A = this chain, B = another copy of it.
């Protein structure tokens, strides 16, 4: 008997045909050929996907559990996604809902290295949630972004991240932007006494990502944001291995999360591959995630080997600070970008008010999810 991992797919269908559809998915996600043409007894026994369970969820939707061979993954994160949803992602009637990750695979990928405890230790933040904001809009030159970064840092925020649209564009090249923003944030941190961290956005191919991370490290930066669905998750793994000192924030861009359950893609898989913090669209913001999805996503991220930090974002507003801290508790970072930028010239004061609200919030002692 060889090791298997169990994947749950939500499949649209009817009771008469779901068993055959489930078998077809099990074959598609394993040997991808007619089982009748397989001559190897070992492949038939150890590699062909096995339907473990089919549960009628009502409304023409079935939860199909399929056991796939762990040996098919090797040690490659991309190949793990390939086994989970490679060709089946092309079928519109299937959503990848969940996977139970065996200990051997969890050890192979390693998970978050810094996570919530490392971030708390670095910034000296305990007993409250983290605060964060974002540098926007893209199109601004480095000095304008640095001015904005300095003002936000003067408010005493914990993290200031690049907007995920900031890449290595002509009007704001990575090196110039990061150099200017790092200096502005460091200067503000010296004034406030609070060790505000800058999170630059890392883009391009793996060589470019490493060059950007080396440059960031030279500026004393110990956090970085990656977009794993664009960089490739294997390259997230490579960065995790090469930069153990850098806390990695995963951005959900290009996550197409309507086809992969957000709890799985963002909450479970990104930490598995090494994300120390996971940015995701908060309920009631610009995206359609439900409170239940957000709660599960946050709980899943915190359940990683080293707990990963859930970072709700995406249209959050300052007036929701108390509500969101009640919802997420203290093991979170509130990331408020555009709404904070509405303060324009008063942005340092608004950032300070935001930081105060998070510091003074009466956190529940035994909050849901952690």
Interface set of A (CB-CB < 8 Å, partner B): 24, 28, 30-34, 36-40, 42-43, 46-48, 69, 71-76, 78-79, 81-83, 85-87, 89-93, 136-140, 144, 163-165, 167-171, 203-208, 227, 230-235, 237-238, 252-260, 281, 286-288, 314, 337-339, 341-342, 344
Nearest B residue (CB) for A75:
B168
Nearest B residue (CB) for A163:
B32
A253–B338 CA distance with the chains assembled, in angstroms: 35
A207–B34 CA distance with the chains assembled, in angstroms: 34
A78–B227 CA distance with the chains assembled, in angstroms: 9
Interface SS of A by simple majority: loop
Contacts of A30 in B (CB 8 A): 137-138, 165
Q: Determine whether the beta carbon of A337 is less than 8 Å from that of B254.
A: no
Q: Determine whether the beta carbon of B314 is less than 8 Å from that of A87.
A: yes
A170–B82 CA distance with the chains assembled, in angstroms: 17
Contacts of A34 in B (CB 8 A): 338-339, 341-342
Q: Determine whether the beta carbon of A32 is less than 8 Å from that of B205.
A: no
A136–B339 CA distance with the chains assembled, in angstroms: 53
A83–B39 CA distance with the chains assembled, in angstroms: 47
Nearest B residue (CB) for A345:
B39
A81–B164 CA distance with the chains assembled, in angstroms: 12
Contacts of A260 in B (CB 8 A): 256
Nearest B residue (CB) for A31:
B137
A169–B79 CA distance with the chains assembled, in angstroms: 10
Contacts of A82 in B (CB 8 A): 164-165, 167, 203, 227, 230, 253-254
A87–B287 CA distance with the chains assembled, in angstroms: 9
Contacts of A339 in B (CB 8 A): 34
Contacts of A171 in B (CB 8 A): 71
- The contact sample of 8 A-B pairs, CB cut-off 8 A, is A37-B342, A40-B144, A47-B139, A81-B254, A205-B234, A206-B207, A256-B256, A258-B259
Contacts of A286 in B (CB 8 A): 24, 28, 87
Q: Determine whether the beta carbon of A165 is less than 8 Å from that of B206.
A: no
A92–B256 CA distance with the chains assembled, in angstroms: 8
Q: Determine whether the beta carbon of B231 is less than 8 Å from that of A78.
A: yes
A235: which of B140, B165, B232 is its contact (CB, 8 Å)? B232
Q: Determine whether the beta carbon of A234 is less than 8 Å from that of B255.
A: no
Q: Determine whether the beta carbon of A255 is less than 8 Å from that of B90.
A: yes
Contacts of A40 in B (CB 8 A): 137, 139-140, 144
Contacts of A43 in B (CB 8 A): 137-140
A165: which of B72, B81, B168, B233 is its contact (CB, 8 Å)? B72
A230–B256 CA distance with the chains assembled, in angstroms: 14
Nearest B residue (CB) for A138:
B72
Contacts of A238 in B (CB 8 A): 205-207
Q: Determine whether the beta carbon of B169 is less than 8 Å from that of A235.
A: no
A39: which of B92, B207, B344 is its contact (CB, 8 Å)? B344
Contacts of A203 in B (CB 8 A): 76, 78-79, 82, 234
Q: Determine whether the beta carbon of B139 is less than 8 Å from that of A69.
A: yes
A337–B38 CA distance with the chains assembled, in angstroms: 12
Q: Determine whether the beta carbon of B287 is less than 8 Å from that of A254.
A: no
Nearest B residue (CB) for A40:
B140
